[in-house]
Amino acid sequence: MGMGTRANAWIGARIGGGIAAAALAAFAAAPAWAQDLLGQPTPGGIDLQPAASPLKHEAIWFHNWILLPMCIIISLLVLGLLLWIVVRYNKRSNPTPAKWSHNTVIEIIWTVVPVLILVGISLFSFRLLFAYHDTPEVDLTVKVTGNQWNWAYEYPDQGVSEYISNMLPEDKAPAHLYRLAADEPMVVPVGKTVELLITASDVIHAVALPAFGLKVDAVPGRINHTWFRAEKTGVYYGQCSELCGVDHAFMPIQINVVTEAEFAAWVASKGGSMTKKADEAAAAAAAAAAPAPAAPVPAADAAAATAPAADAPTAAAAPAAPAAAAPAAPAAQ
């Protein structure tokens, strides 16, 4: 019996040591897991994608410092209460159960405390919602239209006509970017505030790009808007996140963030102009400043205006024609 007890203890110690070693190894390997890829999913990643815009920084802060601690505290509280009840009020520890079934104080506490928790969360949540809603001064506007099953992009301020962005085929896309890479990506300059005007032509889609914190529905007949400001150049990937039909999984969103010079060159390659608005404003100002053309004069008025002025007094001074002579009276008989 004693040998069996020692054997069990030895086995338990080995198992416990193995678990501790595995946990220590996992903890030591955590820095390797933390090397998240920017703008794309990280294989085996367990965290949110790294932020590449101000809105995503605020969203990550809200998640890590408000929601996550609240979830942990509530979970530990509920787990502690369950363990305490199991240990303190099981049949062996409490053979004679109490007869009461209500407690006013406890019921008030578990009603008021959740309300206060939600109010506290809402203060930070509204702040984040206002940051999404209050768009700063816009540097660039892109119209985004969701179709079954691709995206269309248009740059009205630069005169870039709508073009279609489709998913790259599997044989042309990198293996880890299949269903994320697109043949005609959206291109924006780094450090500029970009406003997206989002709609759809058929069914409801959704623009979702984790690195920028974007998640906005594209609804037919309605224009939603959001904004972002990319902090680093690079390629960022997202997808349609609203079930929109059989090829919903084949609607990637690729945004290339480039320098201003590269963006100007790209706009020129698309037949647009970086000074389109300025050119239109200058043309409108020139048209407004030009004198209005004289109204055409009717032909009769023009002839009257060109007649010699001396004709009028000459005609007035002409002697009147002599009156006709009266007939002679007949001779007397």
Give the best-scoring range by mean pLDDT among 81-95, 159-173, 308-322.
159-173
**Are residues 60 and 90 both part of a single domain?**
yes
Residue 290 has pLDDT above 50, yes or no: yes
Q: Binning pLDDT at 50, 70 and 90, where does residue 120 land?
A: very high
pLDDT of 331 reads: 45
Same domain, 75 and 112: yes
User: Which two structure tokens, joined as six digits, stand for 81?
Assistant: 């209460």
- Is residue 107 assigned to a domain? yes
Question: Structural domain of residue 144, as residue ranges?
Answer: 140-278
H helices of the chain, in order, are: 2-33, 54-62, 68-88, 104-133, 260-269, 276-289, 299-306, 311-317
Evaluate whether residue 25 is within a structural domain. no
Range scoring the smallest mean pLDDT among 20-29, 54-63, 219-228: 20-29
Q: What is the DSSP letter of 331?
A: P
Give me the residues paired with residue 164 across strands: 152
238 or 283: which carries more pLDDT confidence? 238
Residues 250 and 164 grouped into a single domain: yes
Q: Cα–Cα distance between 249 and 239 in angstroms, integer?
A: 8
89 assigned to some structural domain: yes
Residue 79 has pLDDT above 80, yes or no: yes
Q: What distance in Å separates the CA atoms of residue 163 and residue 270, rounded to the nearest whole number? A: 9
Reference 273, options 237, 253, 282; nearest CA is: 282
Radius of gyration over alpha carbons of the chain, in Å? 42
The single residue listed with the structure tokens 């269309």 is 152
pLDDT for 9 equals 44
Total of domains in the chain = 2
Judged by average pLDDT, the poorest of 23-32, 96-105, 185-194 is 23-32
What is the percent of the chain where pLDDT is above 70? 77
Is residue 39 domain-resident? no
On whether both 188 and 64 belong to a single domain, the answer is no
Amino acid 277: pLDDT: 74
* Weakest-pLDDT range from 9-18, 74-83, 243-252: 9-18
Q: What is the pLDDT of residue 301?
A: 58
Altogether, the residues listed in the chain come to a count of 333
Q: Is 20 within a domain?
A: no
pLDDT recorded at residue 298: 62
> Could you say which of 113, 134, 155 is where a domain stops?
134
Question: Are 130 and 144 in the same domain?
Answer: no
Q: Are residues 218 and 266 in the same domain?
A: yes
User: 10 or 140: whose pLDDT is higher?
Assistant: 140
Average pLDDT for residues 317-332, to the nearest whole number?
45
| Tokens encoding 94 | 């409490």
Say if residue 88 is in the same domain as residue 145.
Answer: no
* Residue 169 in domain: yes
DSSP lists the bridge partners of residue 214 as: 209
Region 222-250: what's the mean pLDDT?
96
Contact 58, 128 (CB under 8 A): yes
Residue 299: predicted pLDDT: 61
List, in sequence order, every residue forming a beta bridge with 236; answer none if it has no partner: 255
- Do 219 and 190 fall within a single domain? yes
Please tell me whether residues 107 and 235 are part of one structural domain: no
The C-alpha atoms of residue 159 and residue 218 are separated, in whole angstroms, by 23
Tens digits of per-residue pLDDT, 4-58? 444 444 444 454 455 545 544 444 444 455 588 999 999 888 889 999 999 999 9
- Output the average pLDDT for the chain: 83
User: Do residue 189 and residue 256 come from a single domain?
Assistant: yes
User: Residue 136: which pLDDT band, with cuts at 50, 70 and 90?
Assistant: very high
Same domain, 123 and 192: no
- What are 184's two structure tokens? 């005609």
Element (H, E) at 35: none
Residue percentage of the chain with pLDDT more than 90: 64
Q: Report the pLDDT averaged over residues 293-318.
A: 53
What integer pLDDT is reported at residue 212 of this predicted model?
Answer: 96
CATH number, domain at 202? Answer: 2.60.40.420
Write down the pLDDT at residue 45.
Answer: 86
